[in-house]
Homo-oligomer: A and B are copies of this chain.
């Protein structure tokens, strides 16, 4: 389901101009756009390559969007794919039907691309480990947001405030390098000024707290760039 950095979005919309507009916006946002003009084409596209999310126009020639959504929910291959419905104003009342069909969100036309992208990201976020419970799990590490606790396996890991925030950030943004400045922005908050090297020290402290569980290798140095949190050594 995950294809590196780029998320694959399937646009199912009969009007070519709208399709193109959306596709353009998606690409600009760093996503891959697939297109289909009707239900038939959509199913073929999915069979060929499963997308991470489907944008589905309410009104389609032939099989309606709602009907297609229902159908997709029934098939094993497409059951888990989040769907965002594109509805025109006045069709909102049918939300209930859409929900019944398992649609994840609605965007009402006309919409700004900014809003659309935001919604897509929100839905994608939810459909990945972030189930809303505030729990994040990565390898043997587990972080319980509500309880403000970290577990390695099922043992509690004693950890201080800043280390906790740093680890939390890393766990929610793994497999990616962050510069010291970026880490300061995200973990410390942009308003405070501290030396960049301070990050090093906290990285050190984080490693040390993970040491008893041999997890210190998850915090990795990328020389000349910054740090990365990763499963693989």
Flag if B17 contacts A93 (CB, 8 Å). yes
Q: Does A191 contact B (CB under 8 A)?
A: no
Known A-B contacts A147-B177, A177-B148; the reply to A156 vs B105 at CB < 8 A is no
CA distance A25 to B93 in the complex (A): 15
Question: Once the chains bind, are B146 and A177 in contact (CB under 8 Å)?
Answer: yes
Residues of B within 8 A of A144 (CB): 175
Closest chain-B Cβ to A85's Cβ sits at a distance in Å of 11
Report if A63 contacts B (CB, 8 A): no
- Interface membership of chain A positions 161-183, coded 1 if the CB is closer than 8 angstroms to chain B and 0 otherwise: 10000000000000111000000
Give, as a whole number of angstroms, the nearest-CB distance from A144 to chain B. 8
A115-B132, A132-B118, A223-B161 known; A95 vs B17 contact (CB < 8 Å): yes
Closest 10 CB pairs of A and B: A148-B177, A161-B224, A104-B112, A146-B176, A105-B110, A147-B175, A21-B95, A148-B222, A24-B96, A115-B132
- A–B pairs, 30, beta carbons within 8 Å: A17-B93, A20-B96, A21-B95, A21-B96, A21-B99, A24-B99, A24-B100, A25-B99, A82-B112, A89-B118, A102-B114, A104-B114, A105-B112, A107-B132, A108-B122, A110-B119, A115-B126, A115-B131, A118-B132, A119-B132, A122-B133, A144-B175, A147-B228, A147-B230, A148-B222, A148-B225, A149-B175, A156-B233, A160-B223, A161-B224
